[in-house]
Amino acid sequence: MAGVSVATASKALNERGSMMPQTRERVQAAARALNFRPNAMARALVSQRSFTLGLLTNDTYGRFTLPVAAGLSEAMVDRGVSVFLCAIEDDPERARVNLDAMQEKCVDGLVLAGKRVDRALPLDLSGLSLPVVHVYSARPPGGIGFEPDDEAGAALAVAHLAGLGRRRIAHVTGPVGFAAVPMREAGWRRALAEAGLSPFGEPLSGEWSEDFGFRAAGLLFGPETGPERPDAVFCGNDQIARGLMDALALMGVGVPDDVAVVGFDNWEIFAQATRPALTSVDMALKEVGRQAGLTILDMIDGKRVEPGTRRLPCRLVVRRSCGGAGG
Amino acid sequence: MAGVSVATASKALNERGSMMPQTRERVQAAARALNFRPNAMARALVSQRSFTLGLLTNDTYGRFTLPVAAGLSEAMVDRGVSVFLCAIEDDPERARVNLDAMQEKCVDGLVLAGKRVDRALPLDLSGLSLPVVHVYSARPPGGIGFEPDDEAGAALAVAHLAGLGRRRIAHVTGPVGFAAVPMREAGWRRALAEAGLSPFGEPLSGEWSEDFGFRAAGLLFGPETGPERPDAVFCGNDQIARGLMDALALMGVGVPDDVAVVGFDNWEIFAQATRPALTSVDMALKEVGRQAGLTILDMIDGKRVEPGTRRLPCRLVVRRSCGGAGG
DNA sequence: ACAACCAAAGAAAACGGTTTCCTTGGTTGA
DNA sequence: TCAACCAAGGAAACCGTTTTCTTTGGTTGT
């Protein structure tokens, strides 16, 4: 110690109370010399805030959760908040155990992250008095949710295609049961309308797979197709786009010359693997995680936060597959 | 309260000390009625153990880290231990900030997870008096590391091919700079030797990409190739296998009839997308995370743990691409 | 010269548990 | 009958901070 009481030391280090500058100096110097680190737990005990958040996710595969978690963790560490990771795997029992653990660890708030915006995590939140935000998953009435704005993202992609002069823009997408499907379709329709274009037929709805993209290419460009063929395809995800482009290559249809292709997800591993590289809508999930974190901090601070779902903007990553300026 | 002192209550709930069974009952009933949760922080303060671990990772993409993290988190939650996730992104400054945060939060131990077994995380661990294990990353001398046993995994794959009657087994793999490359190559050589076979040429070393796999197919099966062609290819990862199989399809080489293909990583999204589905070596990263966690708990308990790298067994996931019994 | 005030620093309580030690009263054995 | 012992439960210290309240001594105003 620097010859002062703990009370003085505490004030000196936290810039609180009034004291002689030289005393403050002396304490801080001593702290530095001792490599002193305040014990966050003791601090939490008295302040009733642990500066800790829980992240519960059922997305083992990590395609959605990991960017969200990274964005959350990054934004939080700057504010002295750390994030517990809980993998619950769609198992209600495991979810409960993890939720209990989070309560015992006195987290200040909870982020619930899923892999489908229209499915809730298998958690019973009733009787829980913690701030909670729902990310990329369904929220209960009155809850607070964060998602990418799929509709706007889709519109972004389609508007880009229209801006490049494409006129017959088809849409190949996933199963109708997914909420993302109608949202992305709505964006497609809106952007077409705004560009004065008509939809090229109805969207082709199948699975979120390369295989379906491959088959969809046959439906759109195969021999039994009528004279009217699309000059662009907006795909519901990158896997579909990948399969579609593989099929187009086999059919001798040139990308982007004959047809432009845009995907959704900007999953690097797919977007970079297609020939040419795939233009795709990036859901900016890191930013989603960031915003979710900042919002939950506001809630912890007692600020009033409007219930509802926030849809955050996507951005278009332009590569070669849509022609024009890109790449 | 159930009419007893806090001391008695504590003992009742922790099954400690001696007391009348009915007193214990009464306290536990009261605890249940009040939905009582012991405050982990207060407990940590006195016991000097936070039942908390830090997971620092530079693998933003999550391909390696997420399974490790899930395995770790799962194994730990059963033991009342929670895991902080810290995304450090190869940035030494961010690494330091997160490390400081973990020290302030009084974690009982640290798991450092990377995305390359031959690279250490950008962290200065000197002067750190915490148990640390290194997962899928380089460890300092005397440190404790966990990795999949690439050599044995590769041997598993090649032995399987040999067992199916394949005799001319080629190897297409990643850049020589990666430690995984010589390890997998060694497994290939060992399994060949054990089966009484010779290597089919030297391994083709390139990038970990579909594109390289595609080109490698040309080198192995192209028109300028000699009369001897492989009847099996063991690929250094699934992306290479995917590119190779795409090329084979274009070249009219049948899989698995003309040539069997095996990949490495068992990355579902690739392994399932190939036609036919890809047999691949699964690194069992969840188990790696589990073991790393259990070991660090041992270290926390003061048990002596041998320094060195533990290589955990891989398993072969058999699908159609290698013919034989699979799928 | 003395009351009033103020800045600086320390004492002590609090946070929510665990643990050590002590008290109480009943039972046992000589 | 009395010492010795034991089980049950309570009092209090402790973990490492923050915060409130108190003390101390110097300065100001009259």
- Is residue A214 one of the residues assigned to a domain? yes
Kindly indicate the confidence band of residue B251, based on its pLDDT and cuts at 50, 70 and 90: very high
Q: Which residues, listed in sequence order, are joined to residue B309 by a DSSP beta bridge? A: B145
Distance, CA of B20 to CA of B226 (rounded, Å): 87
Distance, CA of A197 to CA of A170 (rounded, Å): 11
Residue nearest to nucleotide C6 (CA to C1'): A18
Would you say the C-beta of B7 is within 7 Å of strand D?
A: yes
Q: Please tell me the predicted confidence (pLDDT) of residue A33.
A: 86
* Same domain, yes or no: A64 and A100: yes
pLDDT above 70 for B326: no
Q: Which residue of A has its CA nearest to B238?
A: A269
* Same domain, yes or no: B165 and B274: yes
Q: Which residues of B touch A102 (CB under 8 A)?
A: 82
Question: Do residues B52 and B81 touch, judged by C-beta distance below 8 A?
Answer: yes
* Same domain, yes or no: B132 and B177: no
Structure tokens at A94: 């495991």
Q: Please tell me the predicted confidence (pLDDT) of residue B18.
A: 78
CA distance, residue A8 to nearest chain B CA (Å): 21
* Same domain, yes or no: B170 and B256: yes
* A201-230 residues near strand D (Cβ < 7 Å): none
Q: Which residues of A touch B52 (CB under 8 A)?
A: 105
Distance, CA of A299 to CA of B292 (rounded, Å): 36
Q: Which of A15-29, A191-205, B35-49 has the lowest mean pLDDT?
A: A15-29
Kindly indicate the confidence band of residue A167, based on its pLDDT and cuts at 50, 70 and 90: very high
Q: Please tell me the predicted confidence (pLDDT) of residue B75.
A: 96
Q: Which residues of A touch B268 (CB under 8 A)?
A: 61
3-class DSSP state of B22: helix
pLDDT above 80 for B62: no
Question: Looking at residues B241-268, what average pLDDT do you find?
Answer: 95
pLDDT above 70 for B325: no
Rg from Cα positions in chain B: 25
Q: Which residues, listed in sequence order, are joined to residue A113 by a DSSP beta bridge? A: A57, A135
Structure tokens at A90: 């769609």
Distance, CA of A75 to CA of A85 (rounded, Å): 15
- Cα–Cα separations (whole angstroms), residue B46 to A9, B49, B50, B51, B188: 22, 8, 10, 12, 54
Question: Looking at residues A309-324, what average pLDDT do you find?
Answer: 95
Question: Do residues A284 and A310 touch, judged by C-beta distance below 8 A?
Answer: no
pLDDT in tens, A35-60: 888 999 999 999 999 999 999 999 98
* Same domain, yes or no: A168 and A276: yes
Instruction: List the A38 CA – C4 C1' distance (angstroms).
Output: 40
- Is residue A89 one of the residues assigned to a domain? yes
Pairing status of strand A52-57 against strand A109-113: parallel
Q: Please tell me the predicted confidence (pLDDT) of residue A205.
A: 98
- Beta strands across the sheet bearing A132-135: A308-312, A144-148, A132-135, A109-113, A52-57, A82-87, B82-87, B52-57, B109-113, B132-135, B144-148, B308-312
pLDDT above 80 for A22: yes
Instruction: List the A324 CA – D11 C1' distance (angstroms).
Output: 81
Kindly indicate the confidence band of residue B74, based on its pLDDT and cuts at 50, 70 and 90: very high
- Is residue B43 one of the residues assigned to a domain? no
3-class DSSP state of A222: coil
Instruction: List the B297 CA – D6 C1' distance (angstroms).
Output: 38
Q: Give the closest of A82, A97, A268 to B77, CB-based.
A: A97
A220 vs A6, higher pLDDT? A220
With CB atoms and an 8 Å threshold, state whether A83 touches B78: no
- Is residue A93 one of the residues assigned to a domain? yes
- Is residue A1 one of the residues assigned to a domain? no
Q: Please tell me the predicted confidence (pLDDT) of residue B30.
A: 87
pLDDT above 60 for A142: yes
pLDDT above 90 for B259: yes
- Is residue B258 one of the residues assigned to a domain? yes
DSSP character for B311? E
pLDDT above 70 for B41: yes
pLDDT in tens, B116-174: 999 999 999 988 889 999 999 999 999 999 999 999 999 999 999 999 999 999 999 99
- Is residue A168 one of the residues assigned to a domain? yes
* Same domain, yes or no: B293 and B252: no
Instruction: List the A20 CA – D30 C1' distance (angstroms).
Output: 30
Question: Looking at residues B228-250, what average pLDDT do you find?
Answer: 95
- Cα–Cα separations (whole angstroms), residue B235 to A114, B117, B118, B207: 33, 19, 20, 11
pLDDT above 80 for B234: yes
pLDDT above 90 for A13: no
Structure tokens at B91: 């940035």
Question: Do residues B227 and B200 touch, judged by C-beta distance below 8 A?
Answer: no
Pairing status of strand B279-282 against strand B315-317: antiparallel
Structure tokens at A67: 């960017």
A317 vs A63, higher pLDDT? A317
pLDDT in tens, A265-282: 999 888 998 989 999 999
Range of the domain at A22: 6-38
Distance, CA of A266 to CA of A318 (rounded, Å): 10
3-class DSSP state of A284: coil
Q: Please tell me the predicted confidence (pLDDT) of residue B2.
A: 65
Q: Helical H runs in chain B?
A: 6-14, 21-33, 40-47, 65-77, 92-104, 150-163, 180-194, 210-221, 238-251, 268-271, 285-300
* Same domain, yes or no: A34 and A126: no
Closest by Cα among B160, B150, B281 to B232 = B160
- Name the average pLDDT for chain A: 93
Q: Please tell me the predicted confidence (pLDDT) of residue A327.
A: 45
* Same domain, yes or no: B202 and B101: no
- CATH number, domain of B117, equals 3.40.50.2300
Q: Please tell me the predicted confidence (pLDDT) of residue A36.
A: 87
Q: Which residue of B has its CA nearest to A75?
A: B87
Kindly indicate the confidence band of residue A2, based on its pLDDT and cuts at 50, 70 and 90: low
3-class DSSP state of A231: coil
* Same domain, yes or no: B171 and B244: yes
Distance, CA of A82 to CA of B98 (rounded, Å): 9
Q: Please tell me the predicted confidence (pLDDT) of residue B79.
A: 95
Q: Please tell me the predicted confidence (pLDDT) of residue A316.
A: 98
* Same domain, yes or no: A137 and A30: no
Q: Which residue of B has its CA nearest to A89?
A: B70
Kindly indicate the confidence band of residue A326, based on its pLDDT and cuts at 50, 70 and 90: very low
With CB atoms and an 8 Å threshold, state whether A273 touches B94: no
Kindly indicate the confidence band of residue A1, based on its pLDDT and cuts at 50, 70 and 90: low
pLDDT in tens, B1-21: 567 788 888 888 888 877 888
Would you say the C-beta of B7 is within 7 Å of strand C?
A: yes
Structure tokens at B135: 């997962």
* Same domain, yes or no: A218 and A289: no
Number of domains in chain A: 3
- Is residue A159 one of the residues assigned to a domain? yes
pLDDT above 90 for B92: yes
Q: Which residues of B touch A87 (CB under 8 A)?
A: 69-70, 73-74
Strand C bases near protein CB (under 7 Å) are 7-12, 14-21
Q: Helical H runs in B15-60?
A: 21-33, 40-47
Question: Do residues A49 and A108 touch, judged by C-beta distance below 8 A?
Answer: yes
* Same domain, yes or no: B193 and B124: no
Distance, CA of A209 to CA of A193 (rounded, Å): 28
Q: Taking each helix axis from N to C terminus, what angle separates B65-77 and A92-104, rounded to the nearest 10 degrees?
A: 70
Q: Helical H runs in B34-64?
A: 40-47
Query: Is the bond leading into B92 cis (omega within 30 degrees of zero)?
Result: no
Would you say the C-beta of B39 is within 7 Å of strand D?
A: no
Closest by Cα among B235, B314, B216 to B278 = B235
Distance, CA of A31 to CA of A12 (rounded, Å): 10
